[in-house]
Structure 1
């Protein structure tokens, strides 16, 4: 049982708990509808109401001692992958431990089904309302719960703490808007923050923000970004070979995870590059493939030819833009090209994960808007593994430099991989912090 005490619940928390209990059936209809659209079964949809679809395991060490069941929650794919990277590091230190991973999206569930280890199972997370959370906790009875990045569920946290579950916030990252919103409710913010036995922030600045919101300072530890320790993205070798064959000797660059307002700049940069390198191909992978029709219109408006992967279009010698409007293939694209522009950074989005690019052996180009990776990009840029651009002309210049200077490109690729490896190695200390603060029974701590 956790010995940490929290302050008395403020009135706003009681109101929130009452409202979420009343609205849970309506919220369920909405989330169930989204899961139905993705082909999720009715039984699995009910996991959102706390009804399990798998039995609870009984974890035991090889010598028969009880082992912990650890619950990780990551809202979507990125957070779930960060959770998997931490599970990979914790498992060897906790022999016999079992892991429960929850998330809210069908895409994350599909990804986890492919990448989870044998001692891990996935469930959709219960809605943050009293009845679903009670059902969930009654069945799973986790020893500890680790919430990844930014989701703070007051009802879930309070119910788990009352059940004796030790709590961690890991890879903590709150947006400026979220921090401002919590600061406007200081009593509730402090009440929520005090539930955690340990809070691991991505950088010192975020750590201070958590303290400002009411987290006890002795429980807050900057720990780097867990995504540095994620396993490399999968590569479809058959698909890779097929696209390589269609490209032949043509040079290529990749623009990945682009958002509305960025494709115009990427396309303009590519059009400028074609003036210098007429056979250059751009592989464009929007963050949201459902925007494909919109992006194709932008490409055609610029007077460029396009082939659409989801339609099975061939990548011919005349194809100037290959639109990769599919899911789950970015690992293949990063293996295809050593030059990758990561979107969400020329628009005010916060950037996307450069670790995946560097692990694939590519160098990174980013816009200035990488606030979600504020602890990652500066050392990556300082080391020469990434370069920051601001618009179409500077993007074209960065790509042109690496296209025409193999030495500079190879130096950048090596630097990018080195920064990621160094940050991944530093995550070993995160495991020690969690084992200590969550009182996990590792062989080194068992009496």
Structure 2
């Protein structure tokens, strides 16, 4: 594809967006009916602001998912320490709840406008960001084009690109170059990610490591933790977390195989809690006794499965065990981030399909904090061995903690890379009068 054809393709994308704009309202209303949008804040997705813009420097920070939001919390706090205002956009109701719980009024939260010309122009015109920092893996062409038109620096942090995404972009190299070369800076998680971004046209690109390694362990309610520990008593436990379709059945199979030997409690935390009803039905059909967190069910000696179907309580579930299988890796592809269980003190198990977190797993496996299992039978053997062998489990937990120490430092490297953009804003912010004033925009 030539450069001219690539530009025509992107122009076609923008024109299609203009044509589809009248359907945006009904589309969002339909999503709201399904619980996928916040009904009361739906207009934010069309670029209408629900809060005033404060006076002074402001950075637009975007993270699509809960995991990406968690990864950039330390960076957001660094921006606020510099007295730079932050409008933080996220794409899901779950991530919005996380922002409210973790950041409160430290930032201005808005739902990200959909990638159509009028919502994006409306959003940028109102908030007038001095820079845009994003931790999302996706590229949104209209947003990229509108920011570039206004010469607003676009910076990617904690950037990674999966095997599948890289192959797809490589097949449309000229389109990729037309988008990626508009990035002012890419701060990549790994050398491989950096190489891929450069190949696609981004420049400059530096490597920082994974920002998630510099986050604090996920918190938990200490009273709830004490309650559940008392109910569990001296029973052995293991957890299957961030599970996708098929992996709950795998966990149930492991549980049934090991229960006669260990009498253990199995904790299952699906990646998408809205699947909990279907998961519970499946588990009961397998003859298992299920307690659900969302119902505040008691964990009795007869409970087989504790179904963690709540949002924002991973810290609670991981503190109830020292063995964690991390999902989207056995019956699905890509993997999920293993750093949270490692930093809390769990021996980590994973399936073989971990392309999206290759570097993190390689380091954990090399240090001895994680082990790859190829199928359900191997998972059952690994769980059984760790349940009955205290010294082996303790060795993996300690190795995981050592690996986490090795991985720290990504935040400092990221902030250093951002200094040419942040230092002028910091000076301006600290020279501003300390009285916030509402801004206006259209």
* 1:222-249: CA deviation from partner (whole Å, max 9, x where unpaired): 2222222223212022221221121111
Rounded Cα–Cα distance in structure 2 between residues aligned with 1:364 and 1:39? 31
Partner of 2:243: 258
Q: Are 2:4 and 1:17 aligned?
A: no
* 1:347-395: CA deviation from partner (whole Å, max 9, x where unpaired): 2331112121122222211111111111100111111111111122211
* 1:143-170: CA deviation from partner (whole Å, max 9, x where unpaired): 1101213121111111112212111112
Distance 1:90 1:321, change over 3 A: same
Report deviation, 1:307. Answer: 2.5
Partner of 1:168: 155
Rounded Cα–Cα distance in structure 2 between residues aligned with 1:393 and 1:276? 15
Are the equivalent residues in 1 in contact too, given 2:209–2:409 (CA < 8 A)? Answer: no
Distance 1:269 1:174, change over 3 A: same
Are the equivalent residues in 1 in contact too, given 2:210–2:410 (CA < 8 A)? Answer: no
Rounded Cα–Cα distance in structure 2 between residues aligned with 1:242 and 1:424? 33
Rounded Cα–Cα distance in structure 2 between residues aligned with 1:8 and 1:89? 42
Rounded Cα–Cα distance in structure 1 between residues aligned with 2:59 and 2:312? 27
Out of 86, 90, 97, which is 1:110 matched to?
97
Q: Are 2:222 and 1:222 aligned?
A: no
Distance 1:300 1:355, change over 3 A: same
Between the two structures, name the one with larger relative contact order (CA 8 Å, sep ≥ 6). 2
Report deviation, 1:48. Answer: 0.9
Rounded Cα–Cα distance in structure 2 between residues aligned with 1:362 and 1:327? 20
Are the equivalent residues in 1 in contact too, given 2:211–2:410 (CA < 8 A)? Answer: no
Tell me which moved more, 136-145 or 407-416.
Answer: 407-416
Are the equivalent residues in 1 in contact too, given 2:36–2:92 (CA < 8 A)? Answer: no
Distance 1:41 1:367, change over 3 A: closer
Report deviation, 1:210. Answer: 1.5
SS of 2:242's equivalent in the other structure is: strand
Partner of 1:69: 58
SS of 1:427's equivalent in the other structure is: helix
Tell me which moved more, 372-381 or 397-406.
Answer: 397-406
Partner of 1:52: 49
Partner of 1:425: 409
Rounded Cα–Cα distance in structure 2 between residues aligned with 1:119 and 1:329? 21
Out of 237, 240, 245, which is 2:222 matched to?
237
The 5 A counterparts of 1:348-427 are: 348-427=332-411
Partner of 2:328: 344
Report deviation, 1:122. Answer: 0.7
Unaligned residue ranges in structure 2 (runs of 5+): 431-442
Rounded Cα–Cα distance in structure 1 between residues aligned with 2:34 and 2:98? 17
Alignment TM-score, normalising by the size of structure 2: 0.90
Tell me which moved more, 421-430 or 201-210.
Answer: 421-430
Question: More helix by proportion, 1 or 2?
Answer: 2
Report deviation, 1:91. Answer: 4.1
Rounded Cα–Cα distance in structure 2 between residues aligned with 1:41 and 1:396? 41
Are the equivalent residues in 1 in contact too, given 2:257–2:380 (CA < 8 A)? Answer: yes
Are the equivalent residues in 2 in contact too, given 1:197–1:438 (CA < 8 A)? Answer: no
Rounded Cα–Cα distance in structure 2 between residues aligned with 1:327 and 1:379? 28
Distance 1:436 1:399, change over 3 A: same
SS of 1:264's equivalent in the other structure is: helix
Report deviation, 1:316. Answer: 1.1
Rounded Cα–Cα distance in structure 2 between residues aligned with 1:234 and 1:99? 23
* 1:230-275: CA deviation from partner (whole Å, max 9, x where unpaired): 2321202222122112111111111111111212222222222223
| Aligned residues: CA RMSD | 2.5
Alignment TM-score, normalising by the size of structure 1: 0.89
Distance 1:323 1:39, change over 3 A: closer
Unaligned residue ranges in structure 1 (runs of 5+): 1-5, 60-67
Rounded Cα–Cα distance in structure 2 between residues aligned with 1:319 and 1:358? 26
Rounded Cα–Cα distance in structure 1 between residues aligned with 2:138 and 2:384? 40
Q: Are 2:67 and 1:78 aligned?
A: yes
* 1:303-351: CA deviation from partner (whole Å, max 9, x where unpaired): 3332333344322111122222222222100111111111111023311
Distance 1:426 1:75, change over 3 A: closer
SS of 2:384's equivalent in the other structure is: helix
Report deviation, 1:109. Answer: 0.8
Partner of 2:307: 323
